[in-house]
Chain A
Amino acid sequence: MAEDTFLADDLLRQLMSVGEVDLLVGVSSHNAADKLGEAVQAIERCFQQFFVRQRVVIVNIDGGDKEPPQDDPAASPVANPAQTAETIVPRQGITSLRTINRVTANYSAPPSPGTALRTLLAAADLLRARACAVVAPATCSLTPDSIAKLLRPAYQDKFDFVAPLYSRHKFQGLLARNLVYPMCRAVFGAAIRELYTDEWGFSGRLAASCLNQNVWHEEAIQTRPEAWMALSAISSNFRCCQTFLGEKPPAARGPATDIVEVLRQTVGTLFWCLETRPSLWLDAEPSPSVTTFGPDHELTTERSDLDPHRIFAMFRTGVTELEPILSSILHPDTHVEIKNLVAIEEGKFRFKPDLWVRTLYDFAASYHHSVINRSHLVQALAPLYRGMTHSFLLEHSDSSPAEMEASSEMLCSEFELQKPYLRERWKTKVEVTS
């Protein structure tokens, strides 16, 4: 075990009573205790339907809750080893031949996804789990089938990282579509569409590898560890795949919908990965596409009540008001082009892909050179992202899913085409005089 002093005695005692397992599913019940019961039932049904013969365990990572529920099925300190599936959920035809163990890990550290994942990886490593999945009851509508889809590629097909894929509304997930996915694909050679997600699967080998890395104190890892895990898998030549899970549930109110907070968590982590692993991407070539189980993408086109006018107004104001900050981040030519965009009439506004790519690469290089405080730098991206979003909404108001996919591919190509520009900016700092 890599971290034999990290786990609490109580958790160690629980894990030792479980012994070795084939499958492990981790649930982080932090501030989601009301949905924990449903999640545990879905996981147990998954085990009973799809993994009847396997040794399994459910690990609840409990980081505390503002309002703990009265009858929390996984809140009991542990699982009685004699407690079988039949006593937890009613019989539904096929039942598990093995005990479904349940373990609850309470950690005193401030609750964070990074701490939860680290605990889970340590548990997986100790139990020698062959395949693991992380699910989040707070944001996802879990079904036995979706959990099985995350576990099966790692357990049966020997994949090491299993990313989910979702059916989405065509105007949802624009940060992933226009920034995270194309940039990661071009820079890291990682053609994984959903790098920032609340549910994913991984192998025991990858768990052990990630656990041994000395990064857990980093803020980027504490907030969004899943993208780092995917990039670690790619960089260490682990096998990655994607699996289609169905419709993406809408995010609950809170930090997940605040664009500045989302940018800090996602783009901040992405830039941090660029910064800490330059050898991984500086000379990397685009990798072949990742194996996908199910459809590669699916878009729906229901009506939406988005307000492009407000988004454009915020872009305009942002570029004007943040001029001194943007001038220290962007290359002078890029900055001039963006300032020119502000003068364009709203209806004719287009944020061209090449300018968007150069803008992002300038931000990444400036993050590397620390031209300003890094948190401020990522926040300064918000108005420009809004500009790109507005352009996207105008351009694709009547586009079909196929057209949008073609446009997305073009953007990915642009990112790959301009990668030398990022390399150049990364290695040489542009002195800005003001």
Chain B
Amino acid sequence: MNPTEEELQIQLNEPLKRVGAFSVLVRMYQERLYWHIRKMILSHDDSNDVLQNTFMKAWNGLDGFRGESKLSTWLYRIATNETLTFLTNKRLRNISSMDDVEDVLLQNLRADSYFNGTEIQMKLQEAILTLPEKQRLVFNMKYFEDITYEQMEAVLGTSVGALKASYHHAVKKIEKFFADED
């Protein structure tokens, strides 16, 4: 049986139990964090790299985690930062190219052997990629993960009101995308 977040946090503070507790933490959160990252980056291989960076950042930063937020919130925050950093670096590397990063992500998704969706699901991903990065993040967290606005506020540091507005705009843009496609 998995320990609770609180139990895990206590074990992570004990030097002799730290490594074992972190191993449990990886098994508890790896899937949720992977899908959080994957929805933004789309490619499996890149998501795998970002997930590894996320856990290694968490491992190296354990001493800095004072428990002001929940363990899961802290991990989500690291994963989000790592994802945004990855996308920024990709954008910088891609600066001389004619295609923007979103086009590259879409091309990678079309070629990715780990995409098993339908044509309409591919269209939805295309529509999501037209959104600004932060709006895309909010849409993915709310639409696919059904994370509450309060939890999102803790992770992203944006007010609940702003998050609701952001999600509303995102939905409108996606609906417009589909309407324009007709």
A binds B: no
